[in-house]
Amino acid sequence: MQGVARRMHQQSSSGCRMRLRLARFLLALTACCLSAAMLSAGDLVDMSVKHQRGVFDLRVEMILDAAYEDVYHVLTDYVHIYRLNPSIVESEVMSATDNSVVRIKTLINDCVLIFCKEILRVEDVRELGTGDLYAVIVPELSNVKSGFTIWQVQHLGGRTRIQYQLRMEPGFFIPPLIGTQVVKRKMHKEVLVSFGNIERIARIRATSRESAPSQGRAVEGGR
């Protein structure tokens, strides 16, 4: 009986080791896939998320493997901003003026842990004509107290450098259970998703332009 028990224990131990090796292999494979996905989303130069007195400040510098004109087109295609992130459930141009100011509305539905919130942002976006975009929150039409966004888009050969800053003061309660560190990690993740989609859509547009040049739209500081 002891011999049988010993063999069963050995078989059980062997099975555990095999499962452990398989789990490690799958984790390594997942890590490789994630690394490849990150590399395909351009090069992250720098990113920081700060929180002080209820205000979040996010700064990102990234180099995308896509041409400037295509990236700029994606950023100023306001009607289709929802394509940049799955959490953006709606994007709409509310009004536009002759002085390069466009009022846009985005509806964001996202969750952090068990806390889910619908964020309504109405912004006045100004295209500065130098590859820069400056957007200011309209508080009375949003559930955000205040905030602004700056996009600095620069030629870099066949690639594009983007310097991005978001400053936002939420107009809603964030439960203490969530904590600012969790919110920071969530913002970090969502930024990488958005920049990856910007690059992907820009490259698709470039391919379309090359295959049908007569239908492409050149962008010079705008759409």
Q: What residues does each domain of the chain span?
A: 1-40, 44-215
Q: How many angstroms separate the CA atoms of 146 and 57, rounded?
A: 12
**Is-contact 65 156, C-beta < 8 A?**
no
Q: What is residue 78's predicted lDDT score, i.e. its pLDDT? A: 95
Helix (H, G, I), strand (E, B) or coil at 176: coil
Per-residue pLDDT of the chain (223 residues; tens, 9 = 90+): 545 445 444 455 454 454 444 334 333 333 333 333 343 457 899 998 888 888 888 999 999 999 999 999 999 999 999 999 999 999 999 998 777 899 999 999 877 666 677 889 999 999 988 889 999 999 999 988 999 999 999 999 999 999 999 998 887 666 555 566 777 777 788 888 999 999 999 999 999 887 875 554 444 444 4
Q: What is residue 28's predicted lDDT score, i.e. its pLDDT? A: 37
N- to C-terminal Cα separation, the chain: 81
Exposed, middle or buried, 186 (CB in 10 Å: 0-12/13-18/19+)? middle
Q: How many angstroms separate the CA atoms of 41 and 23, rounded?
A: 27
Exposed, middle or buried, 99 (CB in 10 Å: 0-12/13-18/19+)? exposed
Q: How many angstroms separate the CA atoms of 75 and 162, rounded?
A: 11
Q: Tell me which fold the domain 44-215 belongs to.
A: Alpha-D-Glucose-1,6-Bisphosphate; Chain A, domain 4 (3.30.530)
